[in-house]
Structures are given as structure tokens and as C-alpha cells.
Amino acid sequence: MKISSMKYLFGQGVKNVWTNRIMTFASFCVILVSLLLVGSMMLFTANVNRFISGIESKNEVVVYLNDGVTDETVSQMETDIKKLDNVAEVVFYSKEQAFEDYKKSMENAEEIFESIGDESPLPDAFKIRVKDISKMTSTIAQINKMQNIYKVSAPNDFADLLIGIKSTVGMISTAVIAALGIVCLVIISNATRASVFARRKEINIMKYVGATNTFIRIPFFVEGMVTGMLAGVAAAGLTWFGYEKFIEALSKQMTLWKAFGIDEFIPFDSVVVKVVLGYVGAGALLGAIGTVISTRKHLKV
């Protein structure tokens, strides 16, 4: 197809956005609402994931060692543990250090410690941070297989809870996004079907004079895409405004959120490019696919 023809067809598509403004407005609203719902769902999910990973990064597995292990064994064990896939960080926590910290934490009990003497009764230990909290159990099992381990203490229940929350939120948001996507496509293809139906005579004549399906489709395609992109821009603007206001309101209760381990919400600035591109892209895609579905039937002449 010639460039001049493409230009003409694109021009027709853009012109049709205005010519069919009532239908365009209907599709625009449907895409806008769907994008807003999906977008807020995604922002919510992103925030939840952020809180969870914030909490995750504070996880700590403590590995207590048997009494009387030599320094060489300790350094050997440290390298062995570091080699494990899921281990992010290993810190040796000597029994002397542990005893000092313990003493400090019990300031008014000097007498008791005097009777124990200077020799630390506590075991040497490694403090380990894992990368992925959901794989913690298998990591612990691997460590347990090593020699000279006295005991491994890990926040297992807590890890399970976090994993549970994460997968539930993930599942719900995926389901909501998928459902909204389908609903959106159905409504848009119906809305454009009406505008295609209004122009069925035009399409019919085009078929008679030998227009290819692509030729007939391009203006509709462009029209859907432009409508979707406009809706995407509007949705991005609304989300920006709404999100900022919402976070502002929530941030007034920051002490409450801190109690839950939530330090900070995702600032909109950090995701603005993703949100705008996502909205505009998804809008264009929805609009375009919607029109393709609805023109299909009328092209069979």
C-alpha cells in the first residue's frame, strides 16, 4: 500500500473519532473506567508487594553452632553457607559479642552475670538473611545438613503468613485485571459494532469496488486506537491526581502504618512513566482489538 493511501486512511480514522463522537465518547468512557479500575488495582498490589518485600528484607535466620568449633571451621562454614543460592548475607555473631549484647540488654542484672563469670555461656552463631522468603524452608534444611550445627531458629510462621498474603493479593489482582480486560473488550466491541453498523453501507460499497479488508479496517483501527489513547491519557491524569490525594490522606496516619511495618507508600513520581505508558498502551490496544473484533463480521460480503 502506498504511503499516500496510508496517510489518507489514518486521516479518515482520526476524522471519524470526531464524526462519530457519541460512539467514541461511549467507548472512551468504558476504556477510561476499566483502565482506572485496573490501574488502581495494580497500584494497590504494587504497594502491598512493596510492604511485603520491606518486611521480607528484615527476615533473619539465626544458626547456632556447637560449642568449641575452631575458627577455621567457622570460616569454612561461612563460605559454605554463602554458597547457598538463597542466602543474601551471612554475618558471624560470636559468642562474646552475643554475651556483651545480652548483658547490655539486661542492665540491672550485673550480679547474675558476675556469678556466670567472663566466659560466655552462649553459642557462636551466624545471622543469615535470605533472598526469597518463600524458599526459606529448603534453605534451612540445607543448613541443617551441615556439620557442627546446634540449632537453626527461623521465623517460619511469619514467613508462611507473608507468602500467603502475597499469593492471595497476586491471585485476586490477576483475576480482577483479566475479568476487567474481557469486560472492556466485550463492551468496546459492542460500542464499535454500533458505529460499524452505522457505516455498513459504506463498508458494503467499499467491498463492491474491490477494497481489501485491510483497507476497510485501517480507519476503524485508527479510530479505536486514538479513542483508547485519549482514554489512557485521561486515566493517567485522574490516577495521578487521585493517588496523590489518597496517599496524602493516608500519610497523616503514618504512626499507625509504621506499627504495621509500613514505612512509606510508593511515590507516584517513581512510577509515573510506567503508569502513563501502561495506560496509553493498554487503551490503544483495547480500542484497536475491540474494533477489529466488531468489524470482522461486516467484512464478509
Partner 1 sequence: MVEFKNVSVTYSNGVDALNNVSLKINDGEFAFIVGPSGAGKSTLIKLILKEVDMTSGEVIVNGFNLHKIKRGKVPKLRRTIGVVFQDFRLIPTMTVYENVAFVLRVIDAPKKYIRSRVPYVISLVGLKDKVKCYPSELSGGEQQRVALARALVNDPALIIADEPTGNIDPELSYQIVQLLKDINNCGTTVLMVTHAQELVEHFGGRTIVLNNGSIVFDKVLGGANED
Answer for the pair 56, 74: CB distance below 8 angstroms, yes or no.
no
Among the listed residues 206, 238, 272, 292, the single contact to partner 1 using CB under 8 A: 206
**Looking only at residues 84 through 113 of this chain, which bind partner 1 when binding is defined by CB under 8 A?**
none
Q: Quick one: cell of 273? A: 512513566
Q: Compute the distance between CA of residue 73 and CA of residue 68 in angstroms, rounded to an integer.
A: 10
Of 22, 208, 255, 259, the residue at the interface with partner 1 (CB under 8 A) is: 208
Choose one: 72-80, 113-121, 197-205, 284-292; the region binding partner 1 (CB under 8 A). Answer: 197-205
Among 58, 83, 145, 201, binds partner 1 (CB under 8 A): 201
Interface map 165-194 toward partner 1 (x if CB under 8 A): ------------------------------
Does residue 200 touch partner 1 according to CB under 8 A? no
Q: What share of the chain is helix, strand, coil (3-state, %, to 5)?
A: 75, 10, 20
| CB of 112 or CB of 205, closer to partner 1 | 205
CB of 281 to partner 1, least distance (A): 30
**Are 14 and 226 within 8 A, CB to CB?**
yes
- In 82-189, at which residue ranges do the beta strands (DSSP E only) sit? 87-93, 125-130, 149-153
To the nearest whole angstrom, how small is the minimum distance from the Cβ of residue 1 to partner 1? 6
Q: Which residues contact 298 (CB under 8 A, 6 or more apart)?
A: 196, 197, 200, 203
Ramachandran area for residue 286 (φ above 0: left; ψ -120 to 50: alpha; else beta): alpha
All three cell numbers of 216, joined, read: 476497510
Q: Encode burial over 95-111: b for 16+ CB neighbours within 10 A, e otherwise.
A: beebbeeeeeeeeeeee
Among 75, 153, 174, 212, binds partner 1 (CB under 8 A): 212
Closest CA relative to residue 139, chosen from 92, 89, 84, 91:
84
**Applying CB under 8 A, does 1 fall inside the site for partner 1?**
yes
CA distance 198 to 155: 64
Considering only 205, 254, 256, 277, the residue that binds partner 1 (CB under 8 A) is: 205
Note whether 22 binds partner 1 by CB under 8 A.
Answer: no
Question: Sign of the CA dihedral 32, 38, 42, 43?
Answer: positive
Name the segment binding partner 1 (CB under 8 A); options: 55-63, 208-216, 266-274, 275-283: 208-216
Minimal distance, residue 8 CB to partner 1, in Å: 6
4 binds partner 1 (CB under 8 A): yes
Is position 299 an interface residue for partner 1 (rule: CB under 8 A)? no
Q: Is 266 in the site for partner 1 (CB under 8 A)?
A: no
How many residues belong to the site for partner 1 (CB under 8 A)? 19
Which positions lie near partner 1, rule CB under 8 A? Answer: 1-2, 4-5, 8, 19, 201-202, 204-212, 215, 301
